[in-house]
Chain A
Amino acid sequence: MTRQNQERPRNHLDLLQSPIHRIHHRLSAFMTLSPIERRRRWTRALARIQTPLALLLWLGGIAWLVALPFLHVPRTYMSESALAVDHPKMSFGNALERDMEALDEKLLNAAATGGKDLVRQIIADHLIDKTGAETFMQPFQNGTNVVAITRVPRSDGKEAMGLSVRLDIGVKGWQYSVSLALVLHQLISQQHYLSKDVVFLAADNGLSGALAFVEEYHSHLVPLHDFPRAGILHVMLNVECNQARFSSLEVQIEGANGLLPNLDLVNVLIRYGELQNVPVRLPRSQVRVPSTFSSDSRLNWLTQMLGMMARQATGQPTNLHGAFLEYRIEAATLSCRGSSTGANSRVIAGRLLEGTFKAISFIHERFHQSFFFYLLAHEHGYISIAMYLPPLGLMVAGAVVGAISLWLSSTHVEHAASEASGSSSSGARLVAFDSSLRGCGRAVAVLVVALLSSVLILLIPSSLVVGAIEAAAPFLSSWSYLVSFATFCTASGRALVPRKSTLSHGCTESSSGAQRDSAATDCQVLHAHCFERSTCRGGMSQLFFSLAMVLAIPIFLLAALAHTPGTSPKLIYRIGRLLRRVVDITAVVLTSPVALLLVVGLTACLHKQPTIFHANVATNEGELRRQSLPAPLATVFAYGWSVATSPDLHVQVLDASNVILHSAIDDWQARGLAWTWPIVCLVYVPLHATLSAIALA
């Protein structure tokens, strides 16, 4: 094209007709218009293209998301070098296979003769005999766990790591898992290099057993007598190997609410699998790619990624490890897969896990490097939050464009009207730019897009969404929709989490006698915990989010006022001017270098990784939890309230916005109404749309 242009003789006429010139011509014509007219025109143009644009953005976001695996997928890497993987020497020898087989038989016999109780007894005896562990039978509502802690010689009892296994004698091959876990625990406990105590958990009744354990470990008002504890629990690995031989291993990572363990932990498992020459895979996606594609094809990566998103979207933990993730214990499940005559025996799995525990024992600090938010396209390739957030932001952007357009058009001055009325300066009026019917239609369109987006977002795990909103927040100025989205999405995400039964269990059990009151608060604290890590990743976006909301809500209130029939235009004008001044001052303050430094400093302090937004909940929670204000309003209220009442501003800002945003949800969940959230979400948005339409009309 350019070459053709060069070849052709270039004369004045040609230049005039060139597209660039035409654009330039139009632009200059546009610029000669009065500012008001210019604004009117582009507002109109925006209004015209708003619906298709929103749709386009929405589709573009989806397309981008789907395209991610076809773009650059970085290879995973060990971020925490102290893990010192690639340590090849393992002491899990082949001789231990005989031990495991003997145990298999013993456990099976016990299950046949004495049922679960005898099995538990055998497990406990084995633990005490072989490792000298502190063993404890932990009764809970629907079962009894076997909990043991081996105090390893060199540790100081401040940190621990652990191993869990499902105690479910109804499942075929259960004994293989249990004996592997027992022998593994015995072997690890004997290693002299360990710096962390070793926890063993045989979780009765699957997930509820694991939850009962982890809740007892962390928060019970009246501690169970002699329940063993060993400080901070760093890692729990769940072993599920219900067959004596297998062909490959599968690592499951998704926890409740889409929580994920640190990527480093997953990497360690996969890396040690390579060292042991056993394939460690991610769970197979439901959607199968035709076998003509190689397993390395991008199409496979796409299904893998979508599969992971789908698993997260269910909100259900994929295995026992989900219980631990909620308490900021990095956890994953390693399962044996493939034919039961496969090439690998359990010794291989044992070695792999031994290596992993060795690595975990080496680390000095908590897992804090690497990623907590990621999607895995394949075992060695990840899509980080930085890559999947822009598509999500794009999907939401449609609603924002709509909101901006609506805002602009509804507050525009129609000169013709003022001219027609014949009044001069005093007679100026504030009139909606569009006729009311058109405004109504636009509002509906905007809200339909919003609804579509919110429904879509509902399907995405809430941890992703919260991250997305947090990251998107600073870039957007139309907050009211976003706040509703955030609330609804997190609410519905949480509603899907199967925690109700165990929570109520915790409450009833401890609420005996005089402890009832304190037990009730205890339960509330419990509720608060489940959000710990999924939210509040970025202190800075939090700050902006809160700030922008404070600025935006009055603007929207004003817009609503402008639409109310009978309001004096002068009043609106005055309020608008006042508001404008406030906003101007804020903007000046915000953009000043001092403020920049302040923001940088504050956010550096505020950015608490992975969060402790409950730092001051003790003082706020009790009162604010009972507020039944709608969450966004409550957030604004609490923001101001906490700033006003506490000198410790920077902590309060974080706490209040988090706590209050979720307090209403907690409240509902505590009352057993969690299931209503999706319904509320689906009902509220159309209702809102209708109401807005009526208001506009």
Chain B
Amino acid sequence: MLHCLNSNASGSEMTVLERQRATIKWQHNNNHHQGYSSSSSPSPSSSSSISLVQVQSSSPACLAAGAWPKLDNNFLMGFTSSPSSGFPLPPPPPPTTSAASFDLNSAISRTSSCPLPSLAEGKETTTPNNKRKTDKFHNTKVVASDNDNKDKRVKVAAPNDSATVGKKGTQDCGDNSNKDNSKVSEVQNQKPDYIHVRARRGQATDSHSLAERVRREKISERMKFLQDLVPGCNKITGKAGMLDEIINYVQSLQRQVEFLSMKLAAVNPRLDFNMDDLFTREVFPACAASFPAIEMSPNMANPASYLHFNSSQQIDAGINPQDISLRRTISAPVSAPETFLDSSCFTQTLPSSTWEGDFQNLYSVAFDQARAASFPSQLFTGLLEPSNLKMEMEM
């Protein structure tokens, strides 16, 4: 059921030739309106993928029955993604004005009120004539999808104002436009009335199954994010394999947490957290694993200096500024000198167990002594400057 937009034209007399001419005119207009369409849809696929057909119900008299199939081919050729192919689709018409320029208006019906959403996951489709579902076109924006891929297309019912053109269409356009296996174009309009979903040939048309499809594809997208999180998931492409990996990973993480908490409980009586104020202030991203690599070399470099660590004055020599910096945030407040020592203690103990035992006692001694002393804050500031840079690099 097509709506005769241009009431002037006597649709019933439309010939094929006129229709063809009209399509050429559309191409012209499409080029003219290229800016329009591209502005409305910044996605790269817009030129190829915009396929607005606003088809509304109209009087059947507008269209000769026999002319429809032919029209359909011409009409739908515009869906092809190759922009060079002269996209006969009309650009979104400004309300009722552009319609007059087309002779074919009567045959190809558009709604004047709904402009294009540049949706389409830009693939081509030439809907087989026998599968055309006119009622699905009702008041929706058609999104072309890949003919090969037998995916379903999702059309979003557009609100009647033209302001929302293309705003949301670009959301998913860019992602899938160049894929061979096109995805369903799910466009969420700003004011979604409802989502029209069109079943592909051979697929179930049940609304439930279509909705399930949409959901499933959303889930697959999410799984891709998870691939980055879970180590070792990059090579796995299957959903089942990935799920396995994820499950294993989560289980292992949880077991680790349990084990570590038990360990903490075991050493609880011996907890020594006087440097806890350090952590309450600024704690680095707990790259506990990365710390050994970073700190090992500088610390090993001057173990001897630690032995002389008897007085506070030697702190600047003994404490590796990098150690401090690694535990400090960039703008480490120098108001709490003790915490610097804390950090150094931490950093010493953190990396490895080999020399940890050596220095731990040492530092506990030094720590107490250092606490008593009051350090000039400038000292630490100076120490921190270069190490901040270093820290940033390593971070």
Q: A and B bound? A: no
